[in-house]
A and B are shown apart, each in its own frame.
Chain A
């Protein structure tokens, strides 16, 4: 099986889940599909809240919810670390001394509630911090490379859906499957930086505006981005974006 079909398989799993539930594709559906497909117990998506360190957007089961809330209550844990800027955190066994030392409050309590392994992936694009995707499992586990690659693809799609929701792109706007097939060449990221200065907003908001505009104009993102980079298009405050 070629690598090229990995995202098709995963997207297929997500849309199949949506069909079974009789709902449109959403972040929640993605989380359930991931919990189903990966050898894990539960999935959570958290973002950095405006006034809190972590805001739970989606969670598939009570145990995962409890562990996310636990982190917020005691102020430490792998999800918080990733939301704070850490790269991916892979804990094979929370009961191991290294992790007990790293999170002296979280680790023992988590083990008590029945959690042994966590894998937290950042949802980010450069400086844009979308959030974190947390995968939980009750048994100590080492995810093999193939499963890790699936997890990363889930995380990319999760970020896509999260950003789409923020950009107001969804079923009510005639939603299409995420257009990952286009490349995200350098121009897209350069344009994002430029727009953030043009509008005086964060790069996260700038990326949302860029995507919303591409969707509204029905143009490939890379094409619109090139127009911004060569200064054929400017984003001004008059633009609704």
Chain B
């Protein structure tokens, strides 16, 4: 892996920590960079809610079927093991893991994944979530992947605490609930935008992030504006605004 790219990524993340910080956007950048740097096929970051259920906060893919792979790890899987033990969990070839994880392993291999890592998100003694990495090839258990992946998970935890320092007297439980709620707000905004623009929610998400970045809005605040229909989001919601060149043509349902 390229040391310069790695250094550049950490600088980028550090910059984001101070400049117009938005937790959901931050975690998405982190997850996207991970996929590039670590050369994995997919990555997902999960936080535990008040029921200790792991909820996806950011994922390198919006593919529903792949998101399900994260969700179903509340029954069995490397993330659940990692969350419970606080230790990294990995497997070099999921085709041989069907006994160990009866629900997760078959689903993951069917989706095309062979190698999996789960790294703990740790805040002092408490495990608050897990960082999940997938590869379509087996035996991709590179030690540097584990090391850098863990560093990324630690940076994600710092991001969460950063949000906390912006508010006063908030407990960690409150903090996690707020983070999870921000994610829900983004999902609602994706739905509103998808319906208004005649596109699917994945495309809507790309539009949202691009617009937020170009106009220097916090992603969560823009999402709130989209749902509330406030003026900040007028241009974005307007169907007469041509979508940016990178998106697909609108689909009429």
Write the residues of chain A forming the contact surface with B, with a CB cutoff of 8 angstroms.
3-4, 6-7, 87-88, 90, 122, 124-128, 145, 148-149, 152-153, 156, 180, 183, 185-187, 189-198, 203, 226, 229, 231, 234
- What's the Cα separation between A180 and B53 when bound, in Å? 12
Asked if A88 and B174 sit within 8 Å, CB to CB, the answer is yes
- What's the Cα separation between A88 and B50 when bound, in Å? 14
Asked if A183 and B224 sit within 8 Å, CB to CB, the answer is no
Asked if B174 and A3 sit within 8 Å, CB to CB, the answer is no
Size of B's binding interface in residues, CB under 8 A: 40
With A194-B191, A197-B192, A203-B192 known, 13 other A-B pairs at CB within 8 A are A6-B50, A88-B174, A90-B170, A126-B181, A180-B51, A189-B190, A190-B188, A190-B190, A190-B191, A193-B190, A229-B191, A229-B201, A234-B253
Q: Which 7 pairs of residues, A with B, have the shortest CB-CB distance?
A: A193-B191, A231-B253, A3-B52, A189-B187, A126-B184, A190-B191, A126-B185
Residues of B within 8 A of A196 (CB): 191-192, 227
A-B contact count (CB 8 A): 114
- What's the Cα separation between A94 and B190 when bound, in Å? 40
Write the residues of chain B forming the contact surface with A, with a CB cutoff of 8 angstroms.
50-53, 56, 64, 67-68, 71, 74, 167, 169-174, 177-178, 181, 184-196, 200-201, 223-224, 227-228, 253
Which single member of B171, B178, B190, B228 contacts A148 (CB below 8 Å)?
B171
Q: Which residue of A lies closest to B56 (CB)?
A: A186
Residues of A within 8 A of B67 (CB): 185-186
Asked if B192 and A194 sit within 8 Å, CB to CB, the answer is yes
Asked if B192 and A4 sit within 8 Å, CB to CB, the answer is no
Residues of A within 8 A of B56 (CB): 186
Asked if B184 and A125 sit within 8 Å, CB to CB, the answer is yes
- What's the Cα separation between A126 and B253 when bound, in Å? 26
Asked if A197 and B174 sit within 8 Å, CB to CB, the answer is no
